[in-house]
């Protein structure tokens, strides 16, 4: 009985960590995509303003 409870605990722990890392990876990926998508034009605009 105790070993079954221990297995369940480790499974839940693993599942929680797995889900957190998955969500974390998605969030980081979205942030990185938004930065690379928005960052390049913003830098171009800033450099144009500096040139003028």
Q: Report pLDDT for 43.
A: 62
- Sequence length of the chain is 52
What pLDDT score does 52 carry?
Answer: 63
Q: How many CB atoms lie within 10 A of CB 48?
A: 9
Share of the chain above pLDDT 70, in %: 65
pLDDT tens figures, 5-30: 999 999 999 999 999 999 989 988 88
Instruction: Give how far Cα 41 sits from Cα of 3, 20, 31, 32, 45, Å.
Output: 57, 32, 16, 15, 6
pLDDT band with cut points at 50, 70 and 90 for residue 32 = confident
Mean pLDDT to the nearest integer, 33-47: 63
Residue 27 CB partners (closer than 8 Å, separation 6+):
none
Which one is predicted more confidently, 13 or 49?
13
């Amino acid at each position: 009985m105790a070993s079954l409870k221990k297995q369940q605990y480790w499974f839940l722990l693993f599942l929680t960590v797995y889900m957190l890392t998955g969500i974390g990876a998605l969030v980081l990926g979205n942030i990185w995509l938004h930065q690379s998508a928005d960052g390049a034009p913003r830098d171009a605009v800033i450099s144009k303003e500096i040139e003028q």
